[in-house]
Amino acid sequence: MTDVPESHPRHDSLVTRHRIEEGVERGITSRQGLIAQGRGEAFDYLLGEQTISSADAAERAAAAQFLVADHPVVSVNGNVAALVPGEVVELADATGADLEVNLFNRTEERMEAIADHLREHGATEVKGLTADATVPGLDHERAKVDSDGIAAADVVLVPLEDGDRAEALGALDKTEVVIDLNPLSRSAQAATVPVVDNVVRAVPAITEHARDLAGADRETLETIVAEFDADEALAAAERAIREGGDD
């Protein structure tokens, strides 16, 4: 499966599956991540494996949120590290965001492996290893964060997120950008900006929008943020899944 011809009708899906498999072999992704990947892939199939227009609008709003933020942070778990390591580094560079590793199945070995993997893809600093702060209301390892990272962030990108931590971060009044292919998930429902798209498309798209908006004044960015309607974006994604096609 390491050499999938581009002509194969399932090329993109098969390549992402292989990245997750390789992540497990490298100790980056947990075995549970395989299940999570399959669940997301099912929703992507129903979306036509494309970025629908409401998702593109969300990605533009996400970029604007990052550009007006005082302290944006990109949270990275095992699946994200396996699927888009270089892409999250590019996003952080384009927006001035920190990268922070955060895991449910947390071990020091996995934390170090993911941090090293991100550095191999160009990251100069990776947070999450200090874990000198906690997110209130969580009784598992994802509660552990860095005091100068997610704990201090005003905007957090939480791709492929657990619903309970998304809700807990929302309770701290942080602006959350969530990438989740299921518009009915707790994570997407809790988000300030729910991006219903595949992470392999969404992260580069947010970066591209951020670069396009880099010269915009603050008023323009704040207008983009204010005009984005999270409820309508979720409703549009659900319609696309139930009815097929884009609005």
User: Which domain covers residue 152, as residue numbers?
Assistant: 53-243
Domain contains 163: yes
Q: State the average pLDDT for the chain.
A: 90
Domain contains 84: yes
Domain contains 9: no
Question: What is the distance between the alpha carbons of residues 208 and 47, in angstroms, rounded to a whole number?
Answer: 22
Per-residue confidence (pLDDT) for residue 33, from 0 to 100: 58
Pairwise pLDDT comparison (6 vs 55), residue with the higher score: 55
Number of domains composing the chain: 1
Domain contains 27: no
Domain contains 26: no
Q: Tell me if residue 57 falls in helix, strand or coil.
A: helix
Q: How confident is the model at residue 124 (pLDDT cuts 50, 70, 90)?
A: very high
Q: How confident is the model at residue 84 (pLDDT cuts 50, 70, 90)?
A: very high
Q: What is the CATH number of the domain that holds 185?
A: 3.40.50.12640
Domain contains 5: no
Contacts of 179 (CB under 8 A, 6+ apart): 157, 158, 159, 160, 161, 195, 197, 199, 202, 203
pLDDT at position 148 over 80:
yes
Pairwise pLDDT comparison (61 vs 170), residue with the higher score: 61
pLDDT at position 60 over 90:
yes
Domain contains 41: no
pLDDT at position 16 over 80:
no
Model-level pTM?
0.90
The beta strands (E) that lie in 60-192 are given as: 72-76, 98-101, 133-134, 144-145, 155-159, 175-179
Q: How confident is the model at residue 105 (pLDDT cuts 50, 70, 90)?
A: confident
Kindly state the average pLDDT of the residues 152-159: 96
Question: What is the distance between the alpha carbons of residues 201 and 192, in angstroms, rounded to a whole number?
Answer: 19
Q: How confident is the model at residue 172 (pLDDT cuts 50, 70, 90)?
A: very high
